[in-house]
Amino acid sequence: MAQAYGCLICAGPGGDDELRRVEVWRDPLWRLSTSMAAPVVGFSYLEPLRHIAHVTDLDGEEAATVGAVLARVTRTLREVTGAELVYVNVFGERIAHLHFNLAPHRAGDPLRGGPAMVDPDASLLSLEELGAGADRIRAAMAS
């Protein structure tokens, strides 16, 4: 696969050494790799083979299949690792190629979900701000 825009993820297996991961599965649209430098077994990355920069750019066959593929992959990670659940995160700041960070989580491991993902000094927004935001999202989704 050609590397788009100098994208390390587009390099596929060719970029795995630098990203410290190994490919464990692929289909015609998606690729799953597992980290070789992680705090838990099975920390993995699901990414489209085609260069799609961010989740907001998701379209085509990838958009049509992402739900089923993500469900299959996270179910497999949960079963294989004995995890209670699998955290799914999309950040996209470091490498602009859509990739889902998949972290199998079990009680007692070093992973923390929920409020730990937010700066501990952050303040909650007002109910008015949050409600207005929810109203704008509701209206946009209805159109």
Q: What CATH number does residue 77 fall under?
A: 3.30.428.10
The domain containing residue 29 runs over which residues? 4-142
Burial of 43 (0-12, 13-18, 19+ CB in 10 A): buried
Nearest to 5 by CA among 62, 38, 54, 46: 54
pLDDT at residue 2, rounded to an integer = 46
pLDDT at residue 42, rounded to an integer = 94
pTM greater than 0.75:
yes
pLDDT at residue 4, rounded to an integer = 55
pLDDT at residue 5, rounded to an integer = 59
Is the per-residue pLDDT at 128 higher than 70?
yes
What average pLDDT does range 81-106 have in this prediction?
A: 91
Number of folded domains in the chain?
1
